[in-house]
Structure 1
């Protein structure tokens, strides 16, 4: 008897031709969380800093491996994972301490540790700043067309005409509401979040803000502060630009540059000419664009900003608190005692600083993906069949932009959710 091979999501089963003809055709619902290939498909739990990449080919195509959004911490007292293992951090500290003992006084040569700019990153800083402004401009226009909903009791955000019915609310008195969200109109800051940090006038000479200075120092978005330290010049946020490297004497920074040679609020002469370019955004870039063209431009600007921030953070240090969203751009974290997260009493309100990731500077607020915008709201019984994506990506996709390949598996575009009356038939 002839046999046919049915391949379903990398799994093969042999069935006779007669048995296939005897049974009527019926819909088969597959969930990426249920079926997986033992060799080619792997279920990954990625941190927000990892890029969705694959080294294997699925069925001859360069598709991304299955990936889901990072799971939240099990408890509020759980610390963020270290980007660099603690063992390596301890080894680096020992090597630096031994180097200071061997050479108490040395001239720092590598920028930006010596107070100078990295010439190849000056243009990247300008591009990141313009991409951020263009992203905010595009989202400010898309939010008037694509409805954004925000829960009144928690931080849940939903993009679509009707708020979803998934019961995941963790706000006050959520038990009385059976964890149902109470939706209100959202804003652009609910779609993308840029945490603020203190502005450093001299990132090398005075890298820390004391607790008594917290009200005297300006705060601005951490992405903008990163661009300023990398070579961007803004009129309202002056910064010191050096022409000579500094010295390190027993771990302390000493600047022997003469007062007449100091350049305050200007660019570095050794940097490229991109330092002097105008970083203001041309508002005419978005005029006359259709909704689809505007969404594509906004999504491309967001990816350009994220990739540029990654390049700058490879050289310029950024710190974040291990228990709260506080961020500080600079060689060290500030000393302001305003941490209110878990275990802050034992630290006297001080932040537990550690190495930051790119998404600590531009928080990707993950939302549920809506496959059918005109369809019924997302059901709580079918939530395991729904995917998620950053709110920026979801808004641009609903406006007409193509789905990025990095988020196709996360949005579960290959999963067909069953109807509510067919849920009991799915195994």
Structure 2
């Protein structure tokens, strides 16, 4: 009924459900098996084939312009070349005259040279072959966690040089100098904005869905109780999944997981102030 995710053999009993008819269930969750997109998500954005001349997508182009994960678009604008998503690259500066972008030199020939230089092989299934996937689960979880941190830290460095915008009301993101003008916002007070987004500077969590979940210290223990939720910590779902599989706890999320807090037993709840 809601977007809550829990990593464990049994769902928790913390009453945080805000989905339909949650009041009839006392905000209790109805758990089902999750998918990969529930652990880590990548929001989509519009592809810009020429970020200098046409930095914005208008509403009438919403069906013709391709959409792709925002982190992929960030890499494309940083130099990655994908044949499916062509983009214009320049070696000469462009000029803005009365709000119009003007090129005095033809840069089409040099664009092909740049494309040949930045073309690279994308990491695919060869990163983790079938033997590694069927090997030690602890070693696999360590590799997954390391790859996730490489992606996260690399995206943070790219965001320092390339602008990423996010809506202040909904999760929509757009990689580029400006946000698009597609009227697709359905968040609070969107009628007063005619469906337009309220763009602001994005953070790393806007292009890589962290999806924080409750940390389970004992995966074979009982379900997390609602009365003890103030003693539980949280972590991104992919981090919690890898930690439960045997990976060491990252120092970056150690304090967030509240490992230094000892939760009382069930019969001690009433004795704790």
Same fold (TM over 0.5): yes
Q: Does 1:175 align with 2:23?
A: yes
Q: What are structure 2's unaligned runs of at least 5 residues?
A: none
Distance 1:234 1:409, change over 3 A: same
Match for residue 267 of structure 2? 421
Q: Structure 2-normalised TM-score?
A: 0.94
Contact 2:141 2:243 in 1 (8 A): yes
Contact 2:92 2:107 in 1 (8 A): no
Counterpart among 179, 200, 205 of residue 48 in structure 2: 200
Match for residue 88 of structure 2? 240
Q: How do 1:113-124 and structure 2 match up within 5 A?
A: none
Residue 191 of structure 1 deviates from its aligned partner by 0.6
Q: Deviations over 1:99-156 (max 9, x none)?
A: xxxxxxxxxxxxxxxxxxxxxxxxxxxxxxxxxxxxxxxxxxxxxxxxxxxxxx1111
Aligned to 1:292, what secondary structure does the other structure show?
helix
Counterpart among 110, 114, 124 of residue 281 in structure 1: 124
Aligned to 1:319, what secondary structure does the other structure show?
strand
Aligned to 2:155, what secondary structure does the other structure show?
helix
Q: How do 1:4-403 and structure 2 match up within 5 A?
A: 153-258=1-106, 261=109, 263=111, 267=114, 275-283=118-126, 285-286=128-129, 287-288=131-132, 289-403=135-249
Q: Distance in 1 between matches of 2:107 and 2:229?
A: 64
Q: Deviations over 1:33-71 (max 9, x none)?
A: xxxxxxxxxxxxxxxxxxxxxxxxxxxxxxxxxxxxxxx
Q: Structure 1-normalised TM-score?
A: 0.61
Q: Does 1:408 align with 2:251?
A: no
Q: Distance in 2 between matches of 1:221 and 1:302?
A: 16
Q: Distance in 2 between matches of 1:318 and 1:284?
A: 28
Q: Distance in 1 between matches of 2:158 and 2:107?
A: 29
Residue 410 of structure 1 deviates from its aligned partner by 0.9
Q: Which of these two proteins has the greater Rg computed from alpha carbons?
A: 1
Contact 2:58 2:180 in 1 (8 A): yes
Which one has a larger percent strand, Structure 1 or Structure 2?
1
Contact 2:39 2:211 in 1 (8 A): yes
Aligned to 1:232, what secondary structure does the other structure show?
coil
Residue 422 of structure 1 deviates from its aligned partner by 1.4
Residue 260 of structure 1 deviates from its aligned partner by 5.2
Contact 1:243 1:261 in 2 (8 A): no
Contact 2:81 2:115 in 1 (8 A): no
Q: What are structure 1's unaligned runs of at least 5 residues?
A: 1-152
Q: Distance in 2 between matches of 1:284 and 1:415?
A: 38
Distance 1:156 1:260, change over 3 A: closer
Q: Distance in 2 between matches of 1:185 and 1:214?
A: 33
* Aligned residue pair count: 270
Residue 323 of structure 1 deviates from its aligned partner by 0.3
Residue 389 of structure 1 deviates from its aligned partner by 0.5
Q: Distance in 2 between matches of 1:236 and 1:390?
A: 31
The alignment yields a C-alpha RMSD, in angstroms, of 1.6
Aligned to 1:377, what secondary structure does the other structure show?
coil
